Amino acid sequence: MTKIHSADIIIIGGGAAGLMAAAGAAATCTGRYPEAKVKVLEKMPRPGRKIMITGKGRCNFTNMKPWNEFSGHIHPKPNFLKPAFYNLSSEKMVDFLLDNGMESVIERGDRAFPASHLASDVVDALVRAAESAGAEILCGKEVTGISRQARNDNGEENETFTIRCADGSEYICRKLIICTGGLSYPKTGSTGDGYVWTEKMGHSIRPLFPSLTAIVPKGYKDGKGHIDRSNPLSENGKLLCGNQLKNVNLTISIDGNEAQSEFGDLDFTDGGIEGPIGFKVSRKCVNAIINGSKVSISLDLKPAVDVDDLTARINSLWNEVSKDRRNADKPYKDRFRFLLAKLLPMSLVQAFIKLNPNTDHKTLPKRLKNWEMEISGYVGYERAVVTAGGVSLEEVSPKTLESKLIPNLYVAGEMLDLDADTGGYNLQTAFSTGYLAGISAAKSL
């Protein structure tokens, strides 16, 4: 006979939101209901697996911008996050981790990292906070189903949830917090289970799609739409891959209309176009491609100068190259290559020439200011940083994170239809919503 374990609050998912929910719930119970039990069910052998790979293992865990700037990086409805953020702001998160043994450093762009630059320190601090507050973290507990009962055997109102696990164990609780994350990086345990459970309980799931992912120029590798990162690079892709462009402007157009423009750095990788501004435009690009729109980008490689000044500079450089006695017998294409080497990283010259045929020194200024590429696809959840879409924000209370449809059910983190730009914003969103959900569930016991 299956033994049923009980707890007052159960949190499904031991990631960023789940661990903070556990810490918030357990700490609140300690002050109000000392006998209350808080348990975390985590399917993986260890909690915080996705945190471990954040920021290439360095873990940019938050961004220190004040709300009026922070909110501009949240999509699609930043005001939903406001109560959770004010309850646990970026500054409070830094203090929270310090109280649990982890010092932080602030780097360029107001990004906060552990002082050790080890993501494991963030996980250790979160686990320490949850367990020291009294929460129990149970790993290897893959949830296979959830059922709810509104009344007890005597017909009295008594809302409870029963959670079934793959190992045959069952858990019953009064308050349930679902923090199972999205679909991104499924090898870390994020397989979208929570969306299925909440939808079965009556919630609407806004369309899901990968964000903060590589966008793939036409001809970079085979495929359209979702292009798996493992697909081999084409000849053009090999020429571009490995190049890093700093201080450039990237503009995307959707069906011929300018949709977004960003200034900063980008990388050509084995996936496609990534880096800070590549990721920043990926949300709109992916959503547009999924909806059947045509997407293109324009790169301004010299945004600091207008086309007239750039033309004057290129004419001057061309005169220098042409008058150099060492180039006297060189064909035009070689002299043009020398010119480009004075304007672009050497590693980019060959790719630029191949992808911009019929460009000469006279047309070069306009091409450097407007290098166009059609975008044919994107890398999917296998390497996307975050999942856009999720449980409809209309159906969840922003002040408590409790479901408006299912009493005593709370939703937090990537489960919600909230996602953000790169730079620490997504993890802070998970921390803030998880913490508020935990506190709210405990207060309502």
Cis peptide before 76 (omega within 30 of 0): yes
According to the model, what pLDDT value does residue 156 have? Answer: 56
Which structural domain range is residue 334 located in? 213-383
Task: Give whole-number Cα distances, 396 to 383, 386, 405, 408, in Å.
Answer: 29, 20, 8, 11
- pLDDT above 90 coverage of the chain, percent: 90
The helix/strand count (H/E) of the chain reads as: 14, 21
Q: Are residues 246 and 279 in the same domain?
A: yes
Q: Are residues 217 and 174 in the same domain?
A: no
User: 188 pLDDT exceeds 90?
Assistant: no
Q: Are residues 315 and 182 in the same domain?
A: no
How many domains are there within the chain?
2
CB atoms within 10 A of CB 100: 18
According to the model, what pLDDT value does residue 151 have? Answer: 58
pLDDT mean over 142-162:
80
Q: Are residues 420 and 347 in the same domain?
A: no
User: 157 pLDDT exceeds 70?
Assistant: no
User: 155 pLDDT exceeds 90?
Assistant: no
From CA 443, how far away is CA 118, in angstroms rounded?
Answer: 34
Q: Which of 336, 357, 383 is the last residue of a domain?
A: 383
Q: Are residues 21 and 149 in the same domain?
A: yes
Q: What are phi and psi of 173, to 5 degrees?
A: -145, 165
pLDDT category of residue 31 using cuts at 50, 70 and 90 = confident
Pick the closest to residue 104 from 63, 68, 133 (CA basis): 63
pLDDT mean over 30-44:
94
From CA 311, how far away is CA 89, in angstroms rounded?
Answer: 48
Cis peptide before 186 (omega within 30 of 0): no
Q: Are residues 158 and 292 in the same domain?
A: no
Q: Compute the mean pLDDT over every residue in the chain, rounded to the nearest whole number.
A: 95
Q: Which of 363, 383, 403 is the last residue of a domain?
A: 383
DSSP states of 350-375: HHHHHHSTT--TTTHHHHHH-EEEEE
Q: Are residues 371 and 340 in the same domain?
A: yes
pTM of the model: 0.93
User: 154 pLDDT exceeds 90?
Assistant: no
Q: Are residues 50 and 161 in the same domain?
A: yes
pLDDT in tens, 45-85: 999 999 999 888 899 999 999 999 999 999 999 999 999 99
pLDDT in tens, 263-320: 999 999 999 999 999 999 999 999 999 999 999 999 999 999 999 999 999 999 999 9
pLDDT mean over 383-408:
97
pLDDT category of residue 190 using cuts at 50, 70 and 90 = confident
Q: Which of 331, 366, 383 is the last residue of a domain?
A: 383
From CA 275, how far away is CA 86, in angstroms rounded?
Answer: 30
Q: Are residues 89 and 233 in the same domain?
A: no
We report the CATH number of the domain holding residue 42 as 3.50.50.60
Q: Are residues 360 and 399 in the same domain?
A: no
CB atoms within 10 A of CB 433: 33
According to the model, what pLDDT value does residue 51 have? Answer: 95
Distance between alpha carbon 298 and the CA centroid of its chain, in Å? 24
Return the DSSP state at 145.
E
pLDDT mean over 351-370:
95
pLDDT in tens, 124-144: 999 999 999 999 999 999 999
pLDDT in tens, 200-257: 999 999 999 999 999 999 999 999 999 999 999 999 999 999 999 999 999 999 999 9
According to the model, what pLDDT value does residue 406 have? Answer: 95
Q: Are residues 130 and 247 in the same domain?
A: no
Q: Are residues 281 and 378 in the same domain?
A: yes
pLDDT mean over 408-415:
98
